[in-house]
Structure 1
């Protein structure tokens, strides 16, 4: 019997996002019989930058923050990826997320490579002024490696439209002219795209719509559990509710609520907005985030954070469809368990690609100085998400693999083709 120390080591490895990403990449590359030279190039990032950011705090003292930017791949176009602020950001996490962005862009056939950034900080303990000074200095540190043709940042965990406006302004001051295409996820008034804020949640709705057709179900028959009530989870829950789905549970970081007859999602989200918690919500029973994942449902949509479904709880899931709104909510070690249970997985690199798709639309609109109506944005998003869902399903059927492996294979195949055609400059 393994010792507790060995078990702990396995768990740490299982929940390392870079290890999960690489194990899936390796499996897909092997099934594709990827050329060893291409494998050697594609498995590593193009560039990793680590910076130390001195910021004058409101107290007058200087505090030095650690920041990262990883640019994984440029074969298909400029790098693209968000910036997250969190106390537990690590280089491994940022490295994994950058690679995920490469595969995500390739799955939906958007001409970007992958990147990601992060700063180790606790934004809940910082003032608006401190966050602005942190953002501007971080942008200045990245100034030589970002740009509309190089690397286009976006919001991520604990960053938002205001953060992107600061990045855009700082970059524009250095460029000596306004450069709206340097970031996406900006306010509409500063060159942002209509529909961008809801894009990830809306994209999730579109692929869930396609997935339930495979089970000959309709929205009113479909019970949905959503983990997370932020921009992705809250938006997805509301849009699913408006589309006629029976959303039976939803949660935030503190815990969730469950009503087997269905929740009034607009009412529940308004309660959360007012009280900052689902605690004591009168129309449902309380559940923990762990209990929520194991509720009986047709569609489970983890839209919170990484490593929620692991080898320890995957066998207790009771959903037919797992729609991954978050990045990396399922560890690689859980994949085989879900496959054996017959769970239909819409993998994160497809399910939550609505955000990067509309980010691409925003970048295009900024570069041509002409902006689309929201209904046009949503229609084009639907076309991309439905086509990409069908591409992945066809790939899975043709190669006789699960949908996650198919999504990775499709993405790697596309990036490998472009890399091979471009050749290696030496």
Structure 2
């Protein structure tokens, strides 16, 4: 049963909520949003989606989501967010493992939390995993280690999306080089692009709210990633700009990766999409109607709570092992986990003659929470035998 903790600042101008999907596990995990018009109902739905991510991975963690109804670009945003974190002080010590989300940044949340006596926005993991302070902070420090152009914290979610996308293309029958069309070049999109760069996978088109750039031979990702985050995509490759941002959905690619915003692909666009596979990383990145239209055409779809599972997976890889891992080990484990999970997803869909989304729900249903067990350390996709039957 969903539990909602409600917040209102002294002025009555800032409202916020923390939604717990259930109390069945020792730890609840999810991001913090700062978004105008945010509601408790929206956070409840997102918390439920977070639970599915934990269950698919076999983790003893339930879902949560929090945030404030506030414009992150408005004056006073930092003060508003800091007040909300002070309200969450006890929850962040005992039960709630927070991450960044729409309108917030990891480093900002950590800084604001520390100023209010909260050692880390993930400090509740220490209790749930029965760690010493020394062990907890040694593992957390790994998130700040740089791997390539980005830190592990910046790369972890996108890295799983990268490998989920490659796995989807392979499952769709692509045997040669995989060509990618990427929607979104924010935090998640840039991290996925870094993964494609590492794997020598050509990204033939990238689009954001400002427009689309494309090159059938592959865009210069290294140059694009070296630019300031938040730079509009058309400015990243001005000689490769296409007339409309919707050009992304007609690009000759093997997999479309959705890494920004909800309902990115209309049913009409889904009916014409040339890609044999789609990997969704953004929450609600694909409406169910569009997902169904793709399924009816035989397009393989990795649903959002599989493609967007990277943050949860990285916590398993950080806190599950007996000893703190290196950042490179976390990324390598994430890639292995993503490939095995996607293989299991499509095998389950074939075996039960159902959609990938329904197959993913079957995978999630295998896990039962245990209030007395540690949160991490039992993901079936990281064991020698792979997924459980």
Give the TM interval when normalised to the shorter protein. Answer: 0.7 to 0.9
> CA 1:378–1:271 in structure 2 vs 1: closer, same or farther (change >3 Å)?
closer
The one of 371, 375, 381 equivalent to 2:334 is 381
Q: Match for residue 43 of structure 2? A: 94
Q: 1:162 and 1:237 mapped to 2: Cα distance?
A: 21
Q: 1:144 and 1:111 mapped to 2: Cα distance?
A: 21
How far does residue 139 in structure 1 lie from its aligned partner after superposition? 1.7
Alignment gaps of 5+ in structure 1: 1-44, 55-61
Q: Is the 8 Å Cα contact of residues 132 and 166 (structure 1) preserved in structure 2? A: no
How far does residue 215 in structure 1 lie from its aligned partner after superposition? 3.8
Q: Match for residue 4 of structure 1? A: none
Q: Is the 8 Å Cα contact of residues 165 and 187 (structure 1) preserved in structure 2? A: no
Q: Return the index of the structure with the highest Cα Rg.
A: 1
Q: Match for residue 165 of structure 1? A: 110
- Count residues with an aligned counterpart: 356
Q: Is the 8 Å Cα contact of residues 318 and 330 (structure 2) preserved in structure 1? A: no
Q: Deviations over 1:372-405 (max 9, x none)?
A: 2112212222232233223322321221111111
Q: Is the 8 Å Cα contact of residues 69 and 115 (structure 1) preserved in structure 2? A: yes
The one of 65, 78, 96 equivalent to 2:14 is 65
Q: Match for residue 139 of structure 1? A: 85
Q: Deviations over 1:61-89 (max 9, x none)?
A: x5721212111123344111000112242
> CA 1:271–1:199 in structure 2 vs 1: closer, same or farther (change >3 Å)?
closer
The answer to whether residue 165 in structure 2 is matched with residue 208 in structure 1 is yes
Q: Is the 8 Å Cα contact of residues 234 and 269 (structure 1) preserved in structure 2? A: yes
Q: Deviations over 1:173-213 (max 9, x none)?
A: 5xxxx4674278x9989745242320111111222232232
Q: 1:232 and 1:216 mapped to 2: Cα distance?
A: 26
The answer to whether residue 31 in structure 2 is matched with residue 79 in structure 1 is no
> CA 1:96–1:275 in structure 2 vs 1: closer, same or farther (change >3 Å)?
closer
CA RMSD of aligned residues (A): 3.1
How far does residue 313 in structure 1 lie from its aligned partner after superposition? 3.2
SS in structure 2 of the partner of residue 123 of structure 1 = coil
How far does residue 53 in structure 1 lie from its aligned partner after superposition? 2.6
Q: 1:198 and 1:277 mapped to 2: Cα distance?
A: 19
The one of 64, 74, 82 equivalent to 1:125 is 74
Q: Match for residue 395 of structure 1? A: 348
Q: Match for residue 298 of structure 1? A: 254
Deviates more, 1:376-385 or 1:340-349: 376-385
Q: Deviations over 1:238-259 (max 9, x none)?
A: 3213312221111233222122
By percentage of residues, which structure has more helix? 1
Q: Match for residue 414 of structure 1? A: 366
Superposition map of 1:189-338 within 5 A: 191=141, 193=143, 194=145, 195-218=152-175, 220=177, 222-271=178-227, 273=229, 276-279=232-235, 281-338=237-294
Q: Is the 8 Å Cα contact of residues 204 and 251 (structure 2) preserved in structure 1? A: no
Q: 1:247 and 1:188 mapped to 2: Cα distance?
A: 35
Q: Is the 8 Å Cα contact of residues 86 and 116 (structure 2) preserved in structure 1? A: yes
Q: 1:346 and 1:275 mapped to 2: Cα distance?
A: 28
Q: 1:402 and 1:113 mapped to 2: Cα distance?
A: 24
Q: Deviations over 1:403-422 (max 9, x none)?
A: 111002221x135x448999
The one of 74, 80, 96 equivalent to 1:151 is 96
How far does residue 282 in structure 1 lie from its aligned partner after superposition? 3.1
Alignment gaps of 5+ in structure 2: 126-135, 146-151, 374-389
How far does residue 340 in structure 1 lie from its aligned partner after superposition? 0.8
SS in structure 2 of the partner of residue 147 of structure 1 = helix
Q: Match for residue 349 of structure 1? A: 305
Q: Is the 8 Å Cα contact of residues 259 and 285 (structure 1) preserved in structure 2? A: no
Q: Is the 8 Å Cα contact of residues 213 and 234 (structure 2) preserved in structure 1? A: yes
How far does residue 157 in structure 1 lie from its aligned partner after superposition? 1.3
Q: 1:336 and 1:400 mapped to 2: Cα distance?
A: 14
How far does residue 152 in structure 1 lie from its aligned partner after superposition? 0.9
TM (norm. structure 1) is 0.75
